Amino acid sequence: MDTSITRRVLLLNGCKTIAGASLLSSVLAACGGSSSGEGSTTQKLQYWALNYQPKGANQTGKLTDGAVTAYQKAHAGTTVEITGYTGDSAGFTKVTQAVRGGNSVDLFRIPSDTLPLLVKQGLVTPIDSYLTADDKADIYPNLLEAVTFNGKMYAWPLWVPPVGMYLNLDIFKERGVEVPKDDWTYDQFVEIAKKLTFTRSNGTKVYGYTGAVDPDIVNTWPFIMGDGGVPLSTDHKKYTFNSPESISGLQKLVDLALKYKVTPPDFGTQSPTDIMTGFGGKKNYAMYSEPSGSSSSYKQMGMNFTVKAMPIGGLGKPLTTGGIGLIAVAKLDDEGKVKAAMDLARYLTGTQVGTDVPGYYLAPGARKSVKVDDPISLFSPFVSYTQLMPIIPEWEQIRKLLHTQIQNAIFGKASPSQALNAPAKEIDSILAGAD
C-alpha cells in the first residue's frame, strides 16, 4: 500500500469460515464472510491484484497470498490464480486490456476513476443481485453510492484511506501546546499552528503545518471543501468549485501560507516523501495532513505521534477527503463463474479475511464491521464522512486543471476567487463533451 493518497495506487483489514456446511455458509454471509455454498463445484478464478508481487516479494503479495490461501482452504472446489499489475499508467492499461480481452480476468482490484469507463463499455458485472441485506447494512452508504451508475452498483468497496491530521507530539510537548480535541475548528487549528511555528536555539525552523499539493492527491482539500464547496454538481454535469463556499475554503488554505505564515517556504511544491522526512525524522513539521498509509511507518519508527480529524470549517461538521479501493467482477458469460467471483470478492472485502490474515487491511475497511490495527484504526471514524472525488472518466483531466489554479492561489499569483473561476469554462466544456 502506498504511504499516502499521493498516487492512484493508494488504493485496506467474526465469523469462522467452515467449508461444506450450507447452513453455516448462510450465517457467514451475514457476517461479511463467504456465502458461496458452492464447495462441491470446481471453479478456477483469475484474480488481478494491484501491486501484487508473487511469493511474498512485497507486503501486498504476502497479504494477498494469505487471503487467497485461506479462501481456497474453505472452498475445496475453487482455485485462484493471481496476477499482479503495477499502479502506473502501464499497469492500468494492462489490466484494462485484459478485461476487454474477456478470457484472462474474472475479478480485479480497480482504480476508482477507471471504473466508469469499464461500466460504460459493458465490461463489468453489477453486484446488486449478489449483495445481501447484511452487506448493504454493513458497507458504508456513501461508498455504495460511489460505485452506483445508472441505478446499479458495479464494484465491491474494499477500503478507504481518509485524510487525517498527523500531530508530532514531541513538538507539541517541546512548545507546551495542548493536544486538540477531535472536534477542533479551523480557528483553533490556526492558533495551535502559530504556536508551533518557531525557530529552535540551533537555528532550525519548525512549521506548524504543511501538506502535499499535487494533481494526484487531495491531502489539503478538506480545507477547501470544509466550508461546503464541492468540485462538481451531483449529476457531474456542471463545475461548482467556484461557489462562495469553495472560494472561502481555498482562502483558508491560502491564509495558512500567506497570512498566518505557518507553512514552510516551499509549501505547494513539496513531495510527500520530503514531508514525511520533515515530520518523522527531522521533526520540523508539527502537523500535516495525509491519509492513513504513513501511520504504520511512523509506528514502526517508534515515533510519538497521533492523528486527529481535520479541523471543522464553515460547514459546521466534520469533513475529510479520500480515495476508495474497489474489487470488480468482469463481464462473464458463465453464471456459475460470476457467482464464484462475486463470492471471492465479498470475502476479499469482508470481515472474515481480516481475521484469517492479520494485517490484511492497510486502510480502514469499507464495512462497519471491519476492525483494523492501530494506528490505522485512528482513521476509521473518518470513513463515514469522507468525501470521495467524482468517479468519472474526465476527473483526471479536471483535477490537473484545478491543481494548477490551487497552486496559483497558494503562491499568491491569483486570489482564491480568480483561481477557482479560471477553469470554469474549460471544465464545463469537458463535462458537456462527456457522453
DSSP 281-339: IS--BSEEEE-THHHHHHHHHT--EEEEPPPB-TTSS--EEE--EEEEEB--S-HHHHH
Residue range 261-286: average pLDDT?
95
What Cα–Cα distance (Å) separates residue 167 from each residue in 109, 181, 348, 376, 413? 32, 12, 32, 14, 30
Q: In what order do the strands lie in the sheet with 210-211?
A: 210-211, 287-290, 164-168, 305-308
Residue range 412-426: average pLDDT?
98
Helices 244-258, 395-410: axis angle to 10 degrees equals 50
- Per-residue pLDDT, 266: 97
- Does residue 434 or residue 402 have the better pLDDT? 402
Considering only CA atoms, give the Rg of the chain.
Answer: 22
The whole-angstrom separation of Cα 269 and Cα 263 is 12
- Per-residue pLDDT, 435: 58
Residue pair 64/107 in contact by the 8 Å Cβ criterion? no
The whole-angstrom separation of Cα 48 and Cα 99 is 10
Largest pairwise CA distance in the chain = 72
**29-56 CB burial, b ≥16 within 10 A, e <16:** bebbbbbbbbbeeebebbbbbbbbbeee
The whole-angstrom separation of Cα 320 and Cα 329 is 29
Q: Is the dihedral of CA 399, 60, 352, 4 positive or negative?
A: negative
Instruction: Label the pairing between strands 43-50 and 107-111.
Output: parallel
Both ends of the chain: CA-CA distance in Å? Answer: 33
What is the per-residue pLDDT across 383-403, written as a single tens digit (0 to 9) for each?
999 999 999 989 989 999 999
The whole-angstrom separation of Cα 84 and Cα 97 is 14
Instruction: Label the pairing between strands 205-206 and 198-199.
Output: antiparallel
Cβ neighbours around 117 below 10 Å, total: 14
Q: Which has the minimum average pLDDT: 25-39, 246-260, 328-342?
A: 25-39
- Per-residue pLDDT, 36: 42
What is the per-residue pLDDT across 332-382, written as a single tens digit (0 to 9) for each?
999 999 999 999 999 999 999 999 999 999 999 999 999 999 999 999 999
> What letter would DSSP give residue 207?
B
Phi-psi sector, 319: left (phi>0), alpha (psi -120 to 50), beta: beta
- Comparing CA positions, the residue from 230, 391, 248, 257 lying closest to residue 313 is 248
The whole-angstrom separation of Cα 218 and Cα 424 is 19
- Does residue 12 or residue 269 have the better pLDDT? 269
Element (H, E) at 48: strand 43-50
Q: Which has the minimum average pLDDT: 29-33, 79-83, 180-184, 214-218?
A: 29-33
The whole-angstrom separation of Cα 19 and Cα 71 is 10
SS3 category, 388: strand
- Per-residue pLDDT, 295: 94
- Per-residue pLDDT, 37: 42
Element (H, E) at 63: helix 59-74
The size of the chain, in residues, is: 435
SS3 category, 134: helix
Residue 308 forms beta bridges with which residues? 165
Q: Phi/psi at 83 (nearest 5 deg)?
A: -120, 130
- Per-residue pLDDT, 309: 98
SS3 category, 166: strand
Kindly tell me if the per-residue pLDDT of 420 is higher than 60.
Answer: yes
The whole-angstrom separation of Cα 330 and Cα 45 is 11
Sequence-ordered strand ranges (E) for 150-242: 152-153, 156-159, 164-168, 198-199, 205-206, 210-211
Type of residue found at 215:
P
**What whole-number percentage of the chain has pLDDT above 70?**
90
What is the per-residue pLDDT across 49-106, written as a single tens digit (0 to 9) for each?
999 999 999 999 999 999 999 999 999 999 999 999 998 888 888 988 899 888 799 9
Q: Which grid cell is 285? A: 513539521
The pLDDT-based confidence of 113 (bands split at 50, 70, 90) is confident
Q: Could you tell me where the DSSP H helices lie in 102-161? A: 115-120, 133-138, 141-146
What is the per-residue pLDDT across 134-153, written as a single tens digit (0 to 9) for each?
999 999 999 999 999 999 99
Q: Which grid cell is 59? A: 507486503
